[in-house]
Structure 1
Amino acid sequence: MPVPVAPGRWPVLGHTPAMLRHRFGFTAGLPKHGDVVKIYLGTMPTYFVTSPELTYQVLVTDGAKFSKGAMFDKFRPYVGNGLLLSSGAFHLRQRRLIQPAFHHERIARYAEMMIGAVNDLVETWRPSAVRQIDEDMQGLAVTVVGKTLFSTELGQEAIEEARRSIFVVIKQGMIRALSPSFLEKLPMPGNREFDQAIARMKAVVFKVIEDWRADGADHGDLLSTLLLAQDEAGEGMSDQQVYDEVLTMLTAGIETTALALAWLFHEIAKNPAVERKLFDEIDTVLDGRPLTVADIPKLIYTHQVMNEVLRMYPVWILMRRAISEVSLGGVRIRPGSEVTVSPHMLHFDSRFFAEPHRFDPDRWAPDQAGKVPRGAFIPFGAGVRQCMGNTFAQTEIVIAAATVLSRWRLLPVPDQPVKVKFTSAAYPNRMPMIPISR
């Protein structure tokens, strides 16, 4: 079956310039060319699937026929072979070793720490004093993941380094992943910034691991879980494997949550009806007292708001590599072929979400959410490679939203419009907001 090639291909560079220049606009235009469209990252062809059915097939139904793709290969030399990047038997082994860290009882303990971290942040706010909410939410996400990972004094150095470096790794890493390999060797500022950030993170995390090995105590943090975990043969992780998983948790556990929270406060400030309904639910459930873990399931509309934010501001693209032959919509995909899916493209497809650019939490009301076809909403991926920290992230988002909004109303700053900067996900160019005491 012939596969259409997306317009905008350059010699040698392929579709990379168009993708980096137009980002979401480029991928949003692909469905009109078919359910499977061929694009070129440099000279490398990849099959871009544009329907939820084929996306679900790649990620879930035929998930075992795919490994992580070329984009992840480009990251692996720098951020290691953690859960985000590993495949096959090694991925399954690591997933089993790490799974206990995200059991429900552990999430409940993490939730208490999340509540404390949000309260510590909002205690620093002053009525009518402008806050850069995107920076506040980045700092909060780093603090939550960092404190969950590291409980020792030396671990605080790792948290501070993560605050400094991790967003450099994420942003520059996406540019590097989409670009031809020769560009990463050029002495450009972005390349130097990326390499220096990786070197700093590696130095401080390995020092924390060395310190833990000398002590050997279980500190109740995620690092202790990683270092104490053993497989069926009684073997644990090497220092390098532990480092890879730590860096994976830092990169995967910070960006999605920080962006979702920043955009959540932005969107409710733009939508007074949503804001009123959210305030009413939070005030009713909390009744003037601080949030507790037991309150989280009762915040039904808050969960709907979170889902709508995750729909509108997801990861841009994911890649997989076929390890055996598979048919996608009648297209024969040979082993070794690259396949790409786009959560953002699917989340903004009007076939599945009416008026997709309208912020509407009622899409996720109990009687409506089930109408969304499987594969159309994938903020954390799907299948065996779905982000293991999805419940962790969702818990943090609901806690932060409810805790902040129980005490503050956030207003946009006049004449300072917020625009989207497209990298691996939707970043705001800035997000100044004014906190008003409730």
Structure 2
Amino acid sequence: MALFFSAAVAVLLLLCGYTLYSAICLLQNYLAARKIGVPVRIIPVDHINPVWVLVSQQVVSVLKRLPFGLGDNNITKYNYLGFELAIRWKSHEEMGDAFILCSPGRNWLYLGNPDIITTMLKRNTDFPHDSELTAMLDVFGPNIATAQGADWKKMRKLIASCFGDSNLEPVWQESIAQASDMGRYWSSQPSVDTVAHDTRTLSLNVMSRAGFGKVYPFKGHHEPQLKLGGTSLSYKEALQTILENSIVIMVLGTKFLAKPWLPRSLQRLHYACASFQGYMTELYEAEKKNSLEGKRSDRNLMTSLVRASQQETKESLNENEIYGNMFAFNFAGHDTTAHNFVWIIYFLAGNPQVQDWIHDEIEHVLGGRPREEWNYKTDYPRLKRCLAVVFESLRLYQPVGLAKWTGEHSATLQVGDKTLVIPPKTMVSPSHASAHTDPKYWGPDSLTWRPSRWIEPGPPSSAPGDLDGEEVVTPVRGTFIAWSDGVRDCPGKKFSQVESVATIAALFREWRVDPVTNPGETLEAARERVLRFIEEDTGMVLLVQLLHPERCPLAWKKR
């Protein structure tokens, strides 16, 4: 009894100590925030606090039910991951172009004005990436996502050369092949509730081919999966295991995962990391040898990165930097693209007229040619409506946001007629969900999914229905930052666009999709239900995503 009492007292003292420490930190941060001169909203816990992330949704859900208007408070408005989707532009409408969320952990300055966002993103020296948040990505070595200064410039130069058209051709070809096989699988099923699983498979297979030259056939989630004999992991199995457990790996690190006393699941994760490292080393050594001997090899990101590095003398990447960047490519490009595919497919299921609209373009551009004859250089630039579908989905639901900070020094930023002095270690975040949907820039239907807003008809002199005369609209800079902006925009931007457009073209050339109707439900009512489902079911785990797409099955039919 005495032992239990002592333990309870110790726990209570720890909680009291932590509460007091948090209160002191919150007061210090609040005083610093007040000096900046913009509206401040206080939240009791930093919304990226790992423990809070685990329980925040449940706590916020309970608090929202409080009576007498008590459920409408800063915690329920701002104190959870993904709160931006719920408020969109409304907080900036209330508080102006900038406001601060003040927590015990950090102060977060949110920017809603496109011009201010653009200016901030251009000033990479004053507003760098937060090295404390991105350091975990160094799990396989330094990379472009974590590098700063001269190291970043070196990496950016070499990596930019690896995302040219010669390396995007395999992305185009593999996306078409994978999407065609996925469409055949889906249309063979009476209903499909595995869209999220299957689009992740497609994305992984495209990345395997374009990144490492490894080709794998598409297998639907309910199809028998090819298993290798023994306990060894194939390249794809190793990469898939790593991507599905990337947060665990980044938090614990590969060295810790090597401990022999860990549970079997974590030991298998370490084995996947070691296997993946082994495959990368094998490819690296082979390509280095080919480069030195002047031999040609398959064009993919890995070989291009090795060759580009070999050609530079003073600014080459070392072996660990190549491995680190290949992991960063896979981590950044896999789930983000797969999640956007899910939104695209569900939005199209609820909008049959948009399916017909893009099908007209696909038929116009590709005609009756077999998929083997689809040409990246000539066909991809003409599939503008397909690209508009990609843009519109990302406009409403961007899988990952942006977070900069001021680093170890203060920075100034012009907001309206004020020059803000922003203290060191202040987070600075573009309010993308606001900029992407503000009616001032996107019109009164800014929350409506309407891909045609991205297409400008041809000039008056063009023939009626001349699809080749259409152009993709360039939005006001700073109102669409799905791939960031400025000098540190996403190097894989074109990669994801090509993959997405090729997938859409391959799927919707041959098939159309509808929601499966419930008993007594009309097809039109089912489509309306799908659109409501997208809005209600979208939330944030690690990324913003549809949380339970399996609850809304779809039916695919041949055109």
- SS class of match (1:227): helix
- Determine whether 1:388 maps to 2:474: no
Q: In 2, distance between residues paired with 1:430 and 1:65?
A: 41
CA contact (8 A) 1:23 1:422 kept: no
Asked whether 1:281 is paired with 2:361, we answer yes
Corresponding residue for residue 409 of structure 1: 512
Contact 2:239 2:276 in 1 (8 A): no
Tell me, yes or no, if structure 1 residue 25 matches structure 2 residue 91. Answer: no
Aligned residue among 125, 131, 134 for 1:64:
125
Higher deviation after alignment, 138-147 or 313-322 = 313-322
Question: Match for residue 110 of structure 2?
Answer: 48
Answer whether contact 2:242 2:249 (CA < 8 A) is retained: no
Q: 1:188 — aligned with what?
A: none
Query: Which deviations, in whole Å up to 9, do the C-alpha atoms of 1:359-402 show, x marking residues without a partner?
Result: 11121112696573210101100111111111111011111001
- Decide which of 475, 489, 492 is 1:372's aligned counterpart: 475
Change over 3 Å in CA distance of 1:201–1:351 after alignment to 2? farther
The number of residue pairs the alignment matches comes to 421
Distance 2:266 2:195 in 1: 28
Structure 1 residues 156 and 279, CA gap change in structure 2 (3 angstroms): farther
Asked if residue 10 in structure 1 is aligned to residue 81 in structure 2, the reply is no
Query: Does 1:310 pair with 2:415?
Result: no
Q: Structure 2 residue aligned with 1:399, among 474, 479, 502? A: 502
**Contact 1:316-1:344 within 8 A present in 2 as well:** no
Deviation at 1:142, TM superposition (A): 0.8
Going from structure 1 to structure 2, the CA distance change for 1:414 and 1:428 (only over 3 Å counts) comes to farther
Distance apart, 1:265 and its partner CA: 1.4
**Which residue, out of 405, 414, 422, partners 2:540?**
422
Note the 1:116-131 alignment, pairs <5 A: 116-131=177-192
Contact 1:127–1:434 under 8 Å retained in 2: no
Q: CA deviation at 1:29?
A: 4.6
- For 1:54-108, what per-residue CA distance to the aligned partner results, in whole angstroms no more than 9, with x for missing partners? 1111112x23322112563353454653222222111110111112211123223
TM-score w.r.t. the length of structure 2 is 0.67
Which of residues 290, 301, 317 is equivalent to 2:385?
A: 301
CA distance 1:306–1:90, change in 2 (3 Å): same
Structure 1 window deviating more from structure 2 (411-420 vs 391-400): it is 411-420
AA partner of residue 383 (structure 2): L
User: CA 1:433–1:374 in structure 2 vs 1: closer, same or farther (change >3 Å)?
Assistant: same
Calculate the aligned-residue CA RMSD, in Å: 3.3
Retained in 1: the 8 A contact 2:238–2:273? Answer: no
Larger radius of gyration: 2
1:122 maps to a residue whose letter is G
Whether the aligned pair in 1 keeps the contact of 2:200 and 2:338 (CA below 8 Å) is yes
Inter-CA distance 259–240: structure 2 relative to 1 (3 Å threshold): same
> What letter is aligned with 1:296?
Y
**Contact 2:233–2:272 at 8 Å: present in 1 too?**
no
How far is 1:207 from its partner? Answer: 0.5
Cα distance in 1 for residues equivalent to 2:81 and 2:450: 29
Q: What is the identity percentage for the equivalent residue pairs of Structure 1 and Structure 2?
A: 22
The structure 1 residue matched to 2:164, chosen from 89, 92, 103, is 103
TM-score by length of 1: 0.85
From 436, 446, 449, the equivalent of 1:359 is 449
Partner residue in 2 for 1:160: 237
CA positional deviation for 1:25: 2.1
Mean CA deviation greater in 325-334 or 153-162: 153-162
- Alignment of 1:266 with 2:346, yes or no, is yes
Equivalent residue for 1:332, pick from 402, 413, 421: 421
| SS of residue paired to 1:203 | helix
Match of 1:241 among 321, 329, 332: 321
